[in-house]
Chain A
Amino acid sequence: MSQLAVKTHLREERLRHIWCPGCGNGIVMGAIARAIDKLGLNPDQTAIVSGIGCSSRASGYMDFDTLHTTHGRAIPFATGLKLARPELNVIVITGDGDAAAIGGNHLIHAARRNIDITVVCFNNNIYGMTSGQYSPLTPRGMKATTAPYGTIDRSFDLCRLVGAAGASYVARGTAYHVRQLINLIANAIAKKGFSFVEAVSQCPTYYGRRNHLGSAVDMLRWQKEHAVPVKAAANMTPEELEDKIVIGELQNLSGQPEYVSEYYRLVREVQHQHAALR
């Protein structure tokens, strides 16, 4: 299944991709393709919407209707598309700078509306496309081209933010735990309502090198060693969790009103009332 998924859901003629050797984005994009394949989604009824940044270039490589938008604004474009064509599976691909900085407000409000789209955030802790400035997800103390002395900014926990804003489904995975990542993305797409998956990825070129984190393999090993499943994390203290990545399903709510169905329910009611008045 897996090899085939990549073959059928990627535009092979559009490759080579622009990503650096060792980049984790290809693994996450592959996981999305495999998740779509796992669910058996109709490719004609699936749209990929992305913002600006390394990760957002993925839309051009995927064989669906694809929309590569402006920096930070993929979610509003996706919102318009989903409301106009509710039958489509709308998947947003974004990065940590795109989603958490310039597009942070849109992320919060899409989660609040609980609109039935899936956002996959490729988190490589850095602005890669512009060659290594610190993002809202760069851990405190780490170096970047705009933080030569180490960043003093505290980093976001995007999953907690999106969960608190009301998303039906929130999960985190890593490029290393790729089988789990495929399942998490598949669950997110299948979930009605707003779903969010943070996919921790590695940028050996602009993040790893500057912070002496080693090769791509070393960075993947770091993911393996620092990832803690949700259940195990429940029994750990905040101190123990300080440099860990909690992976798995973080929020899975049922029975939450979903925006598109709520909207069209309202339309039916209004039209019914008008028909009754006539």
Chain B
Amino acid sequence: MSGKDRFYRLMQGDEACAEGALAAGMRFFAGYPITPASEIAEYLSQRLPEEGGVFIQMEDEIASMGAIIGASLGGMKSMTATSGPGFSLMQENLGYASMAEVPCVVVDVQRLGPSTGSPTAPAQGDVMQARWGTHGDHAVVVLSPSSVKEVYQLTVKAFNIAEELRLPVVLLMDEVVAHMRERVDMRELAQVEVVDRKRPATPKDSYLPYGPDRDDVPALARFGDGYHFHVTGLFHDSTGFPTGNPKEIERQIARQHRKLERYRPYLCIGDEEALEDAEVVVLAYGGSARPALAAVRQGRREGLRVGLIRPTVLWPFPEETIYALATRVQSIIVPEMNLGQLALEVERSVKGECRVTRLPKVNGELFTPEEILAVIRKEALSCPSWRLRPIYEKKDYAISGVQAVATA
């Protein structure tokens, strides 16, 4: 190796996830083997002992999720990694982490499902499960990387968000991104900002593990430091002890959601390409964003006014950004390796301001740029006249629709 070469490294997505986690300060990993996430565990089983951290292969995914919560309360940044079937098993304890506000990171490398499905085939069918997989109204953040470099960066970000907000964060990868190998510039990856959870500054006897705080995120003490606090999945008051008082329950659940709402502006992150004058926009994430970008660039070469928006935070969904976009474009195309999951959220967010075209694919293959480009061409050709219509016409249409239902 000579010159600049030594700054570059060929890295796999799963490996970048493991290295990103270590850079973020993760020192506890518990997992159970599953394709296509096993490489993360394999890699960490070698690296964690080197770093003085803990690697343990548990008896199942339920136990893995439980162990990382226990370790986090012991003060270690912790993570598990799995795929669809294992992610399903983790849901109950994921809800616990949300309810008890225990920071941790769960990596779900999606594969084609439901059930055992097609273990080595790429898919993006866990978008809704990542949001609503556990029961009840819970706070969760879900991130979706599209490249090896971004896997590293978003893994670090996942830990930072988890620590800052005291909640579980899901890194939602897909098989394509996890198994892909790319050249990464180690100098870029070395620039990592690491956030650690807030520790209690109050005296031990007045510590409130679920008390109100300026930013709605209470400080988290460590087990073994003499705070003698209680953690439960039952609804609890600010002391952490169970309560059945409806007012207290309401107060706690409101705070748990408010802390995320407050942070929301920082979570509207992503990437875009040629959006300025675009009339047709492709909204893509994860592995699907790669062929989408190629399709958009080809469309531009063909003279089409097409752009790409690529949210890297899927939940909370950047609805204001998408609405603002919808008011100035004609059409949004959503290619995803499922039957239209994030598209539902796009449709909800645009509030009728533009057309949303779903482009689903669930045969276990990645999109080709050509498949997406075909839809871009169709949309670009059919849109212009539609866009020239005054806005009130669209509203009229909506009103007449309602009247039609009423008179029928």
Chain A interface residues (CB < 8 Å from chain B) = 14, 43-45, 47, 49, 59-60, 63-70, 73, 75-85, 87-88, 105-106, 108-109, 263, 266-267, 270-271, 274
User: If A73-B62, A109-B59 touch, does A84 touch B230 (CB 8 Å cutoff)?
Assistant: no
Residues of chain B contacted by A263 (CB below 8 angstroms): 54, 56
B contact residues, total (Cβ < 8 Å)? 44
A192 to B106, CA, bound (A): 32
| Interface positions of B from 204 to 242, Cβ below 8 Å from A | 222-234, 241-242
Contact of B223 with A81 in the complex, beta carbons under 8 Å: yes
Residues of chain A contacted by B69 (CB below 8 angstroms): 69, 77, 80
User: If A67-B223, A73-B63, A267-B52 touch, does A83 touch B93 (CB 8 Å cutoff)?
Assistant: no
Which residue in A64, A80, A266 is a CB contact (below 8 Å) of B228? A64
B44 at the interface (CB under 8 A from A): no
Contact of B50 with A84 in the complex, beta carbons under 8 Å: no
User: If A68-B231, A69-B233 touch, does A44 touch B70 (CB 8 Å cutoff)?
Assistant: no
A68 to B69, CA, bound (A): 12
**Distance between A15 CB and nearest chain B CB, rounded to angstroms:** 12
A71 to B224, CA, bound (A): 24
**Distance between B403 CB and nearest chain A CB, rounded to angstroms:** 51
Number of A-B contacts (CB under 8 A): 135
Contact of A85 with B75 in the complex, beta carbons under 8 Å: yes
B96 at the interface (CB under 8 A from A): yes
B71 at the interface (CB under 8 A from A): yes
Residues of chain A contacted by B142 (CB below 8 angstroms): none
B49-76 contact mask (Cβ, 8 Å, vs A): 1 or 0? 1101010101110111111111111111
B299-333 contact mask (Cβ, 8 Å, vs A): 1 or 0? 00000000000000000000000000000000000
A159 to B230, CA, bound (A): 29
B223's closest neighbor in chain A, by CB?
Answer: A65
Contact of B75 with A60 in the complex, beta carbons under 8 Å: no
A81 to B353, CA, bound (A): 51
B83 at the interface (CB under 8 A from A): no
**Distance between B216 CB and nearest chain A CB, rounded to angstroms:** 23
Residues of chain B contacted by A45 (CB below 8 angstroms): 224
B30 at the interface (CB under 8 A from A): yes
A63 to B205, CA, bound (A): 12
